[in-house]
Amino acid sequence: MLYSDRHQCICNASTTALPFSSKDSTVQTKTFSSVFEGSNQMLRSTYCAVQDKAGVKFLGALMNIFLQIHRKQLGDTAAKGIGMERSMRLTYHAHSNAGPQELDILIQELRFPSKGTSFDKLLGYLYNYIPYIKQEHNLRLVFASFLNSTVCFSSSNSFEETYKIVELFQVITEQKLKISEPTLNLKSWYSIILKELENFVRFDQVGNSWKALPIITGILLANGLREELHYQSDPFGFWFFYKKWDQSAISLVRECLKYSLSASHSKDTIHLTVICLSLVCDQGTEMRDLVSPTLYKFVFVNYIDIIFSDSTLGLWSYKGLLENGIGNNNNASNLILRKPVIKNLNKLSFLIEACLTCLPYDSSVESLVDDCLCKIFSFNQRLCWDLQEDTRNFVRRNDAEKKDAFWFLMKNILFCEVIITRGILTRFTNSAKLESCNSLGRPFNFSGLDIRYKQHCLKILHLLYYLSPILHHVGQGGFDFYNFVYHLSVAIALNNELSGSQFEDLSAYLICDYREVNLYPPVVNRDYVTRCKVLFVMGLWETYLQQNNVNKSFVTERVIPICRDLVDDTRYTDREVMEASHSVILASLANPTVTLFLGSYFDYTKLIMKQFPSFLSSSQLSIAIETIGRKILSHPAAYMVSISSNDTIKEFLEMLYEHCQSLSPGIPIPGNSESQETQSSLSMAASDEKPTMSEQHFTHRTKPNTIREATISAFIRVLPYMPLASFVHWLDKIDQLIQESTLEEQNFLSNVFWGYLSENLDLNRSEIAIRWWYDTGRVLQALKDIKL
C-alpha cells in the first residue's frame, strides 16, 4: 500500500545494490522463494505485531540467524547473492512506531509479487517512487528489482502492455527533471540508470536487450524537456555531460537492437522493438546509424505487418469506430487512438520511408515492395467499402464533434500511406538506372527494373483512389507530399516508351466496374464515397488528356460519353461531379488529337449556356465558350469560306449571337453563383482570372453583374479565333449587342470589348479592329471611361 507522504518513507537504507545478473537473480529468486515460502506470512505478521524497540531488535536478530542458517544450504549461489540477502533486510525508523518501509514493500512486490499484484499497479508504484529517491543505492536497488520483475517483463505480456514501460520512463524522467532538488542529483540519476542498464544488457545480451530498450527509449523521449529546463542554467555541463550521455545511450540502443531484431523473439517482442526504433529515430538519429544493413529487410517487413496486417494492433482497429457509426463510440475512439501503432503512426511511416531509401536495388527488394503494396491495397479496399456502407454518417455533418476522432485517424492513415509511397517513388527517382526527365519534360526512359516501377505507380494510383473520400474530406490544399506522389505516379505511368493502355484500362475499370462505382444518378447524387471515386477518375482523365498522344478511340468511346452523361443536370445534381466532368470534356476539346462530330460541339455549347448561371459561374462559362470556339474556329478550311455560306463557323457564331440577343438586359446573376465554385480545374482556371482587391477598387469593373454581361463577355472571348473574312461583320454584331444593353451594361461591355481588341488579337486582326473602332466613332464614346 502507498502512503501519501512518500518523501519520509525513502530513508537511508543500509542496503547495497543487487547484482544485475539475470542468471544469478533467477537462481536466487527460485531458491529463496522456496526457502521463505513457509515463513513469509509469519514474518509479515510479526512485523505488524511488534511495536517497541526491543521487539524490533529481536526481530532483526532472528532474521539474521535465519539467513545465516540457510546461507550454508545455498552454498556458492547464496554467497554470490548477498545483494538479494540484503534486499530482504528491512530498514526501520528509530522511533517507537517503527515498521517496514514503503520502499521495502515496493522491492518485495517487485521481487516476489503477490497474487493481486498487476502490471499497471507496479508501474504506478515506480512512477510514485523513482523520481523522488534520495540515495543512490536505493535507486540501484529499486531499479534492479524492476529489471528482474517477472510481472513487468513476462513472456505472457502483450506488446501493448509492455509498451507502457516506454511511456512510464518518459513521464518518470520528465518528473525527475522538474524536481531535481532536494532528491538525488539529476546527473547522478542519469548516470546510475545508464550504468545499470549497460550492466544488465552486458550480462545476457539476447535475453535482456529487449527489456532495456523500452526503458532507454522512454528516457530519450524526455530530451526535449531536458533541454528546455536545463540548457540555459548550465550550458557547459549540458553539452559536456548530457550530450555524452546521449551518445552512450544511443550506443546502448544500437547494441540492444542488434539482439532484439531477431526472428527468434516473439511477435510481441519484435513489435516492441520496431516501435522503440521509430521513436529513437524520431529524436534525430538516422536508422542507418542504429541498424545493420542486413536487418533492413527484416525491419521493413515487420513495420508493414504491424501497420497493415495485424487485425488488433494496426490500422485495422478503425473498425471499432464504425461498429456504431462513424465516431459515435467515444470510448472506442479513445482506446483506439491510444494504441501504440496508431499513436506513433507518423513516426513508423517515416521510418518505413527510410528503410525504402536504404534498401538495395535488387529483385528480392522489389518483391518486398510488391508485397507491401498488395497489403496496403487490401486494407484500403476494405476501408473504402466500409466507408461506403456507412455513407449515411457523411450526410449528418452537424454532429462533427463526434467524428473528430474518426477523421483524425483517417487523416493519419492518408498521411502514413502517402509517406510510404513517397519512399517507393524516391527509390525510383534515385535509382542509378533511371534517366530521369530533364527540365524540358522529356519522357522517362524505362528499361529492366524501371518497367516494374510503372506497375508500382499504377498500384499507387489505385491506392489513392480508395483514399479519395478521406482526401476530399480533409482537403488537398498544402498537402505537398500527396501532390508529389500523385503527379509523379501519373507521370511515370504515362510517360514511357510503352503503350498507355494499362493506364487507360485502370482508369476505365475504376469508374466502369459496378463493384466499385454505380453511376446510377440517385446513387451518385446521394453516395459520398461514389462521388469521390468519380472525381478521382475525372482528375486522372483530365491529366491524361493533356498528353500529346492520346488514344482517340478511348477518349471518344469511353471518356466523353461518360462525362457527357454526368453533366446532364436533369439527372445529376452534384455540382462538383458536373464541374469535373465539364473540365474533362473541355480538356478533350483542347487536345488536337481528339475530334468529334459537329453536332456534339453544338449540343454541348447549348448545354453550357443553359447551365449558366444555375450550375456554372460567369468565369467558367467564358472558359468553356472560348475552348469550344477555339476548337471549331481554328479549322483551316473555315477561313476560306464566304461569310454568306452555311458553314460551321457561321452556324456556331450565329448560335452564340442569337442566345445573347435573347437575354433580357439588367437581369442580375444570383449572388451565390461565384461563391459555389468547387475545386475542379475549371473552377481553378476561372479563379485565376478573378481580379484582385486593388483591381476591383481602383480600375474599371471586371466582373459581370448581369447574365447578359457575362454571356456577351464570353462571346467576345471568341474574337481572336474568328476568320479574317468575316471579322468586321462580327465586330458589328457584337457592337449591336452592346448597344441594346442597359447603360451600365454598355459601359462594362465596352471596356471588355476594347480590352480584347487592343490586347488579345494578333497583328492582322488588331489592325482591322482598331481601324474599325475609330471608323465607327466608338473611341469618342469610350474616351470618358477608357484610357488608351
Q: What SS3 string covers 159-217? A: HHHHCHHHHHHHHHHHHHHHCCCCCCCHHHHHHHHHHHHHHHHHHCHHHHHHHHHHHHH
pLDDT at site 767: 92
Q: What pLDDT does 11 receive?
A: 35
Q: What is the per-residue burial (b if ≥16 Cβ within 10 Å, else e) of 632-665? A: bbeeeebeebeeeeebbbbebbeebbebbeebee
Give mean pLDDT, residues 245-267: 94
Tell me what pLDDT residue 448 has: 54
pLDDT of res. 217: 96
Lowest mean pLDDT among 110-114, 472-476, 505-509: 472-476
| Calpha distance 697→554 (Å, rounded) | 48
Helix (H, G, I), strand (E, B) or coil at 325: strand
668: β partners: 706
* Residue pLDDT, tens place only, 535-574: 999 999 999 999 888 889 999 999 999 999 999 999 999 9
Q: Please, how many CA atoms are within 13 Å of residue 105, restricted to the half-sphere of its CB?
A: 16
**Percent of the chain scoring above 70 in pLDDT:** 74
Highest mean pLDDT among 488-502, 601-615, 668-682: 601-615
pLDDT at 686: 53
pLDDT value, residue 477: 62
Per-residue pLDDT at 438: 39
The x, y and z cell numbers of residue 648, run together, are: 460551321
Which tens digit of pLDDT belongs to each residue from 677-694?
Answer: 455 556 555 555 544 444
pLDDT at res. 324: 55
Q: Mean pLDDT over all residues of the chain?
A: 79
- What pLDDT is attached to residue 240? 83
d(CA 530, CA 535): 9
Poorest-pLDDT segment among 441-450, 479-488, 557-566, 762-771: 441-450
What are the distances in angstroms from CA 33 to CA 310, 505, 747?
39, 71, 101
Helix (H, G, I), strand (E, B) or coil at 446: coil
User: Which of the four pLDDT bands, split at 50, 70 and 90, describes residue 326?
Assistant: low
Asked whether residue 91 carries a pLDDT value surpassing 50, the answer given is: no
Is the N-terminal amide bond of 613 cis, ω within 30° of 0?
yes
Confidence of residue 440 (pLDDT cuts 50, 70, 90): very low
Whole-number percent of the chain with pLDDT over 90: 49
Q: What is the pLDDT of residue 44?
A: 41
Question: Is the pLDDT assigned to residue 625 strictly greater than 60?
Answer: yes
DSSP state of 559: I
Q: What is the pLDDT of residue 362?
A: 82
pTM exceeds cut of 0.85: no
706 strand-pairing partners: 668
- Residue 31 has φ and ψ, to the nearest 5°, of -70, -50
Residue 200 pLDDT exceeds 90: yes
Given this model, what pLDDT does residue 22 score? 35
What is the pLDDT confidence band of residue 93, given thresholds at 50, 70 and 90? Answer: very low
311-324 pLDDT per residue, tens: 889 999 888 877 55
Residues in Cβ contact with 610 at an 8 Å cutoff, skipping those fewer than 6 apart: 569
As a whole number of angstroms, the distance between CA 448 and CA 446 comes to 7
> Cα–Cα distance between 459 and 506 in angstroms, integer?
9
15 versus 316: the higher-pLDDT residue is: 316
> What share of residues in the chain are helix, strand, coil (percent, to 5)?
70, 0, 30
Residue 391: the pLDDT is: 60
Query: In this structure, are residues 534 and 563 in contact, taking their beta carbons and an 8 Å threshold?
Result: no
Residue linked to cell 452534384: 574
Residue 638 pairs in a beta bridge with: none
More confident residue, 542 or 396: 542
Which pLDDT band, with edges at 50, 70 and 90, does 596 fall under?
Answer: confident
User: In terms of pLDDT, which residue wins out, 430 or 788?
Assistant: 430
C-alpha cell at 525: 447524387
Preceding amide of 668 cis, omega within 30: no
Encode pLDDT of 705-754 as tens digits: 999 999 999 999 999 999 888 899 999 999 999 999 999 999 999 999 99
Contact 292, 255 (CB under 8 A): no
Which has the minimum average pLDDT: 26-40, 56-70, 358-372, 385-399? 26-40
Q: What is the mean pLDDT of residues 753-774?
A: 90
Dihedral Cα 575, 576, 581, 583, nearest 10 deg: 110
Burial category of 540 from C-beta neighbours within 10 Å (exposed 0-12, middle 13-18, buried 19 and up): buried
- Average pLDDT (124-146) is 92
130 in Cβ contact with 172 (< 8 Å): yes
Say if residue 378's pLDDT is above 60: yes
Closest C-alpha to 706, from 664, 736, 735: 664
Q: Is 614 helix (H, G, I), strand (E, B) or coil?
A: coil
CA 367 to chain centroid, in Å, comes to: 25
Q: What is the pLDDT of residue 497?
A: 55
What pLDDT does 635 receive? 60
